[in-house]
Structure 1
């Protein structure tokens, strides 16, 4: 599946859930400047924001049992971060429109169908797995709420300042059920507009470097074929023009990293903070609870898995970008320049060996994806977060014991 189709499909879904039109082609998806569309989007985000404020109030001022107090704190922190991530993406809508166009057009002529099919398969598996984990966690919150009803209490998933714990009126029941529905809709917005959108961009960017590497490898095969056929003049011309085009594509791809950091850096940085901070709190809840029911344990475990699964997708795929970018240098070196006779080294005012040297110098600069130009997004950072999270958890657990 082409990048054009993938990104356009994503932009359609983002438009349908009220976050605006991110597609660069006018009048192909919909008009997000209409009064009705803006009113619906504003109402949706007002509901999200109002529920988040009530969660924060419950965490700071609410009088709830210990388990609901912990849930209110977890939701208050997580949903505040979710709201910031959503707004950060919407604030960069113009940049993302431009980025969509660049991501579609760069290397488009050299994208191979098997490679694109492999990319799409990886994206699909990751998105579906993340979707299942997130809604598995939400389902466990619902099951725990139903268990409380059968135990003689009231149904609750999202703990908000109102209604209070003692309020079992019909209105209170309606609000608790309504909050659950808002939670499920909010998760759709989070998954489609922010988390999986960011993940798809990182994977797509990684495959740009793989495509470029294959471009240089195919150029070597073409040069070798012409050399063995005895047509060294044409081989030199093909190599010179191919190197120039490859250098230009490589330069454009590298520049995309700055745009990706600007558009999605906040999302990845906040996810790193959320995964490490929230995981410590949730792990302590599991470890210190005396009588933790199956549904209650399930919702906490799913929550932690979702946090680290998404963080792993961000950091490991970003680390893979660094790895794939480093392989381009070798592909350039083995492009076939040594097959060109010295008398043909300079053709059409282009010195082939100087072009190879220039391309390799550009490719050997380490490309490390960063969030906020400070936090390295790599395998090492992911392992560091895991170790640090466990260390902090073990410290707090020992103190509480």
Structure 2
């Protein structure tokens, strides 16, 4: 069926297993019915548990009694999990758009996808997703290790800082509830990683390779035209080029619409991650720099958490920027398709020169994804976030020294 089909079907199975629903575009073809009451109950229980955890973290920020380090963790995790819940609800609410995206991501340009390009895409997806998943769950492992360490030092077992159980409550009930909340966090991370973050990233990568495929298609038009015209049949070569060029324009318009759909479905995910990464980066650096009682395990935990939010933002922005870059490369491929060597064909054939002018004009305005309709999601924005975060950290750190 092709790499796109394999990737999307695998994701749909994973998303179905962690609760958000059936995102496959053919109802009942590969997965179960997410409208049946057992599955709806399963989804409701998971979302209710995630909300309970988030509310307990928010209460801990406003009403909890914790040492300095745990107070900082409470604020960081509360903000993080609020944004995680926003991202999960965004994906669930856009289920029908995402189903259509899945269908079009498989079908658009499918006929012209080259095995080598698809293997490169598959390798890029694997590398991006693997790096992100490893950093997230190694960071989570550090939270669990620190919870075990604290339980041996007289505190309760808790990987997150919540209003209940209290930090000073060492009863069996508190430890059991803390262990239960750890399981909720693990499931929440699975839902976030599979159905939101890595899935968004994968869609951006696949869309980038769609534009690479389209560029290769336009470049191939010149080879076909040159081969046919050299055989002595210039009229036939011009006719084939015109028909092929029309098909290329159709595919280009399909991809531009697909970019709009991806932005509509995942734009809030990208914008939320931009806010989370920017704020978390500054706050975590300040925790590490200003905390007077901080252990190596806690430094490692915060550093890995910092790496996770920054790496995810980098993967989002760089892949979104790649879509703009690859789309901008189409204008050259379109212009050098061989139109200038073609004779003008009589009606009902379309005027190839006008088609080229229209297509070049359109390609010179490549799609740019934006957060909050203002901030461009590109390489430059990622660098600005890093510089801005460090500058803000340096300013606050200097004033507090």
TM-score bracket, normalised by the shorter chain, equals over 0.9
Deviations 1:278-332 (A, max 9, x none): 1111100111123422211111001010001010011011111111011000000
The list of structure 1 runs, each at least 4 consecutive aligned residues, that deviate by more than 4 angstroms after superposition, is 344-348
Partner of 1:350, secondary structure, is coil
CA distance in 1, matches of 2:88, 2:323: 24
Q: Is the 8 A contact 1:134 1:306 kept in 2?
A: yes
Q: Is the 8 A contact 2:156 2:178 kept in 1?
A: no
1:382 aligns with 2:382: yes
CA distance in 2, matches of 1:311, 1:141: 21
Deviations 1:66-117 (A, max 9, x none): 1111111111000000001000110011111112112111111111111111
Partner of 1:14, secondary structure, is helix
- For residue 166 of structure 1, what is the aligned residue in structure 2? 168
Q: Is the 8 A contact 1:261 1:371 kept in 2?
A: no
- For residue 279 of structure 1, what is the aligned residue in structure 2? 281
Aligned length: 399
Partner of 1:242, secondary structure, is helix
Q: Is the 8 A contact 1:227 1:339 kept in 2?
A: no
Distance 1:347 1:216, change over 3 A: farther
Q: How does 1:68-107 map to 2 (within 5 A)?
A: 68-107=70-109
CA distance in 1, matches of 2:34, 2:151: 42
- For residue 296 of structure 2, what is the aligned residue in structure 1? 294
CA distance in 2, matches of 1:32, 1:399: 54
Deviations 1:336-395 (A, max 9, x none): 11232x3x4556422121221111111111321113322211011111111110111011
- For residue 24 of structure 2, what is the aligned residue in structure 1? 23
CA distance in 2, matches of 1:346, 1:93: 47
When the two chains are superposed, the root-mean-square deviation of aligned CA atoms in Å is 1.2
Q: Is the 8 A contact 2:125 2:202 kept in 1?
A: yes
Tell me which of 252, 255, 258 is aligned to 1:253: 255
Q: How does 1:112-131 map to 2 (within 5 A)?
A: 112-131=114-133
Partner of 2:329, secondary structure, is helix
CA distance in 2, matches of 1:91, 1:312: 25
Q: Is the 8 A contact 1:261 1:372 kept in 2?
A: no
- Residue 38 of structure 1 deviates from its aligned partner by 0.3
Q: Give TM-score scaled by structure 1 length.
A: 0.97
- For residue 339 of structure 2, what is the aligned residue in structure 1? 337
Deviations 1:96-147 (A, max 9, x none): 1112112111111111111111101100111111010000110111111222
Which range is displaced more, 241-250 or 357-366? Answer: 357-366
Partner of 2:134, secondary structure, is helix
Q: Is the 8 A contact 1:198 1:264 kept in 2?
A: yes
What stretches of structure 2 of length at least 5 have no aligned partner? none
CA distance in 1, matches of 2:230, 2:70: 75
CA distance in 2, matches of 1:32, 1:176: 31
Tell me which of 186, 189, 196 is aligned to 1:187: 189
CA distance in 2, matches of 1:380, 1:125: 22
CA distance in 1, matches of 2:375, 2:147: 38
CA distance in 1, matches of 2:395, 2:25: 50
- For residue 370 of structure 1, what is the aligned residue in structure 2? 370
Q: Give TM-score scaled by structure 2 length.
A: 0.97
1:351 aligns with 2:384: no
- For residue 392 of structure 1, what is the aligned residue in structure 2? 392
CA distance in 1, matches of 2:280, 2:187: 22
CA distance in 1, matches of 2:9, 2:156: 44
CA distance in 2, matches of 1:279, 1:94: 34
Tell me which of 140, 143, 148 is aligned to 1:141: 143
Partner of 1:155, secondary structure, is coil
CA distance in 2, matches of 1:38, 1:367: 37
What stretches of structure 1 of length at least 5 have no aligned partner? none
CA distance in 2, matches of 1:84, 1:75: 14
